[in-house]
Amino acid sequence: MTDQESNATPPPPRAGRTAERPAPVASPASATSSPSSSSRPSPPAPPHPPRPWRTEGLPDGPPPKPRSRWKAIIVGLIGYAVIFGVLTAQDRLAGPQVAVPYTELKAQVEKKNVSGVFARGDSIEGELKTPAPLPVTPDKPGGPEKPANNDKTYRQFTTERPTFARDDLLGELTTGGATVRATPLVPQRGFLANLLISFAPTLLFLGFWIWMLRRQQSAMSGGLGGLLGGRQKRVDPETVRVTFQDVAGIDEVRAEINEVVDFLKDPEKYRRLGARAPKGLLLSGPPGTGKTLLARATAGEAKVPFFSASASEFIEMIVGVGASRVRELFTEARKVAPSIIFIDEIDTIGRARGGPRSFGGHDEREQTLNQILTEMDGFSGHEGVVVLAATNRPDVLDPALLRPGRFDRQVTVHPPDHKGRVEILNVHARRVPRAADVDFDKLASATPGMTGADLANLINEAALLAARRQLEAVHQRELLDALEKVQLGTARNVVIPEPERRRTAYHEAGHALLGIIQPGADPVRKVSIVPRGRALGVTLSTPDSDRYGYDAKYLRGRIIGALGGMAAEREIFDVVTTGSESDLEVVSRVARSMVGRWGMSERIGTLSVLPSEGDPRMAGVSDGLLDAVDEEVRRITDECFAEARRLIRENRPKLDAIVTQLLERESLDEAEVYAAAGVSRPPSSAPAPTPAAPAAPPPRAGLAPAAASRDRA
């Protein structure tokens, strides 16, 4: 044997088992060696070579042997024998207990004391009318018969009729009034019936035991076919019809994902420069901005295996099932790497631990999150597995999930701007026949703040409307009508009393008038007193261009415009109705955000008092500071309401003119409402947008670019 052969390293043992050194095979020379050489102590075995895997937590020594099944089989057979014996003994105990001689039966027949009998061959079973003394058999066959034992009686009996008997037993029984039956007096089961009945519980128990074992194995292994198995869905790239050509309006986000796709297609281009693919990419943004559409487009562009799963599918009642599904998902993705994993709505299981919303260390959500953190932390960077995740609430995610090394990139998907809306409208209208008068540029100007899902719904509503009108193509009118339906709601056919209809007209005219005469206010696009949904009237105002920041002057104008309907009712009718409910909600929300979140009050100063969620007292805000916030909110709303009433009084003729046109036409568009008020619309009534601070999040006070004031029923 050469040195190279003697130093060869044995093959590594299987994972999860302790490496055992094989025993050396004795050669013929060693077998014939002298006793002195055989008595020498053998040299110590060399230490085991280092293992390429971790074995932390495994017990020392060989693995435990599997439990023998013979014990279970023997126990089952013994139990079956016991059940069979009990059933058989029950039959014996339930039948006639007294065996009497045939002469005793003849004596009872002569006394007419037999109530009924049943015969099977020469065996006779019967029952007496009244109990009789139990006869005593002789000690020896043929010996004298002892007298009856009066202490013991019997009523049911069994006997055997001798084959040589020539008596007319049937006639005697009939004469004595006995009933001769064709069925046994005591129903009995046969041997086969007892066999089946005793075996049925055993079969039922074995079936339940096997079902429980399979269910447990399925839960532990995460089998796809089990009751608690994984539910991840592998998407075939060849069947995905969505590509990056179907994604528009979010070019910067598409560029981020396209880089990941390019890495999966040509990894060597990046590896030779020392670059590695991001382990995770988190897509966040409002609902409907196209996060899931981007994931589907990624599956169509990358041409690699794509695994899609919703985070809610990992949550089950049994703790540990979600972690098992996560393990299976990542294991399957590694087998076919390069691949992509997409987890939708990851905030379902990725919420921050240890906060007020945590459920404890043994909660199923936290166990599943821990498993995701472990799986993403185990990537070497060269496995070619990239995790995409989408959420609407990135602020509630656990910091351990967002750190570099897990989700290396966090991309925010915002609603599209004007150019993006035009592109999205063209994408969704590719299969919709359009008339020559369709102008998506004007339609995009009237839809600020709309997401891709909203625009897709708008195109579909316009196509449905054109089909109902039996048109060959979609015109601009159908698009505008569909926009009105989407933004304002479906019109209701209700009969409104004339006084209430006139009051509604003044309410909506008050909103429209203040939107027209206030400098810097959003232009009025639509005024209607047609009931829609819960509203009796609607006034729609949208800016000429997208806004990303708001100053105090603009917000005060919004409050004044929202209070225009209530101010008109006070000035004309000197009443306050329930129609101002939605207006007051907007006013309170905007005023509170101005004071408590945006630092637009000199008294409160540069303090963030009101958090976006939760009780401000939990953040350390005192009751005195909250009282000051309430006072400032009341001051701002009172000043704005007084200003609204002043403008209504000073422009009463314009208000009456708008009301007259509303009562006549019920709905006025932008040109008609400006003409009714006698005011020429400026080319661009919206001021230049105030740039927002880069680090500040967008306002979340419900301040949408399109403001609709509704008079509720």
Q: What is the pLDDT of residue 349?
A: 80
Q: pLDDT class for 475, splitting at 50, 70, 90?
A: very high
Q: Which two tokens stand for residue 634?
A: 């009341």
Q: What is the pLDDT of residue 285?
A: 87
| Structural contact between residues 370 and 323, judged by C-beta atoms closer than 8 angstroms | yes
245 C-beta neighbours (distance < 10 Å), count: 11
**List of long-range contacts for 636-643, beta carbons under 8 Å, 24+ apart:** 636/556, 636/559, 636/591, 636/594, 636/595, 636/601, 637/559, 637/563, 637/587, 637/588, 637/591, 640/556, 640/559, 640/560, 640/563, 640/587, 641/563, 641/566, 641/567, 643/560
Residue 406 reports pLDDT greater than 90: no
* Residue with token string 């195109």: 459
Mark 655-680 as b/e (b = at least 16 C-beta within 10 Å): bebbbebbbeeebbbbebbbbbbeee
Pairing of strands 339-344, 306-310: parallel
- Report the mean per-residue pLDDT for the chain: 75
C-alpha span between 639 and 30 (Å, rounded): 110
Enumerate helices (H) and strands (E) in the chain, giving the number of each. 24, 15
Q: Give the three-state DSSP class for 234.
A: strand
Q: Give the three-state DSSP class for 362.
A: coil
359 C-beta neighbours (distance < 10 Å), count: 11
Q: Give the three-state DSSP class for 150.
A: strand
User: What's the rounded mean pLDDT across residues 112-127?
Assistant: 81
Q: pLDDT by residue (tens digit) across 531-555? A: 887 788 888 888 877 777 889 999 9
Amino acid identity, residue 106?
K
Going from the C-alpha of 172 to that of each of 112, 119, 178, 181, 225, the distances in angstroms are: 9, 15, 9, 15, 73
Q: Give the three-state DSSP class for 141.
A: coil
C-alpha span between 553 and 307 (Å, rounded): 50
Percent residues over pLDDT 90 in the chain? 18
Residue 559 reports pLDDT greater than 90: yes
Torsion angle, alpha carbons of 231, 233, 234, 235, to 10? 180
C-alpha span between 328 and 326 (Å, rounded): 5
Q: pLDDT by residue (tens digit) across 674-702? A: 999 888 876 654 333 333 333 333 333 34
Query: For the chain, what is the largest distance between any 2 Cα atoms, rounded to a whole number of angstroms?
Result: 140
Residues 6+ apart with CB under 8 A from 341: 307, 309, 329, 330, 333, 385, 386, 387, 388
Strand partners, 485: none
Residues 6+ apart with CB under 8 A from 85: none
Residue 585 reports pLDDT greater than 90: yes
User: What's the rounded mean pLDDT across residues 297-319?
Assistant: 73
Residue 13 reports pLDDT greater than 70: no
Q: Which two tokens stand for residue 294?
A: 């981007």
Residue 491 reports pLDDT greater than 90: no
* Residue with token string 């995701």: 372
Q: Which two tokens stand for residue 40?
A: 């020498």
User: What's the rounded mean pLDDT across residues 161-181?
Assistant: 80
C-alpha span between 111 and 105 (Å, rounded): 10
Catalytic entry in 478, 508, 571, 632: 508
Q: pLDDT by residue (tens digit) across 623-679? A: 899 999 999 999 999 999 999 999 999 999 999 999 999 999 888 888 889 999 888
Strand partners, 513: none
- DSSP codes, 61-125: SSPPPPPPSHHHHHHHHHHHHHHHHHHHHHHHHHS--EE--HHHHHHHHHTT-EEEEEEETTEEE
Q: Which two tokens stand for residue 427?
A: 């994408």
Residues 6+ apart with CB under 8 A from 580: 507, 563, 565, 566, 569, 711
Q: Which of 524, 565, 537 is nearest to 672 (CA)?
A: 524
Q: Give the three-state DSSP class for 535.
A: strand
Q: What is the pLDDT of residue 339?
A: 81
Q: Which of 390, 379, 401, 396 is nearest to 334 (CA)?
A: 379
Q: pLDDT class for 587, splitting at 50, 70, 90?
A: very high
The residue that leads in pLDDT, 451 or 34, is: 451
* Residue with token string 């020429």: 680
| Structural contact between residues 339 and 385, judged by C-beta atoms closer than 8 angstroms | yes
Q: pLDDT by residue (tens digit) across 14-42? A: 333 333 433 443 443 333 334 344 344 44
Residues 6+ apart with CB under 8 A from 383: 334, 337
C-alpha span between 161 and 172 (Å, rounded): 14
Q: pLDDT by residue (tens digit) across 210-257? A: 888 777 665 554 443 333 344 455 555 555 556 777 777 777 787 888
Rg, the chain, Cα only:
45
Taking the alpha carbons at both ends of the chain, their separation in whole angstroms is 100
Q: Which two tokens stand for residue 713?
A: 């029923």
Q: What is the pLDDT of residue 502?
A: 92
Q: What is the pLDDT of residue 466?
A: 92
Q: Is 508 an active-site residue?
A: yes
Residue 484 reports pLDDT greater than 50: yes
The residue that leads in pLDDT, 95 or 482, is: 482
Q: For the chain, list the domains and their CATH numbers.
A: 96-137+146-187 (3.30.720.210), 233-412 (3.40.50.300), 418-488 (1.10.8.60), 498-712 (1.20.58.760)
The residue that leads in pLDDT, 335 or 587, is: 587
C-alpha span between 595 and 599 (Å, rounded): 6
Going from the C-alpha of 16 to that of each of 23, 59, 176, 452, the distances in angstroms are: 21, 10, 86, 51
Sheet containing 114-120: order of strands: 98-99, 146-160, 123-136, 114-120, 179-181
Least confident of 129-133, 144-148, 202-206, 628-632: 144-148
| Structural contact between residues 710 and 582, judged by C-beta atoms closer than 8 angstroms | yes
C-alpha span between 473 and 435 (Å, rounded): 6
Strand partners, 266: none
C-alpha span between 150 and 152 (Å, rounded): 5
C-alpha span between 386 and 285 (Å, rounded): 20
Q: What is the pLDDT of residue 115?
A: 83
129 C-beta neighbours (distance < 10 Å), count: 16
Least confident of 361-365, 558-562, 657-661: 361-365
C-alpha span between 330 and 340 (Å, rounded): 10
Torsion angle, alpha carbons of 242, 287, 429, 477, to 10? 170
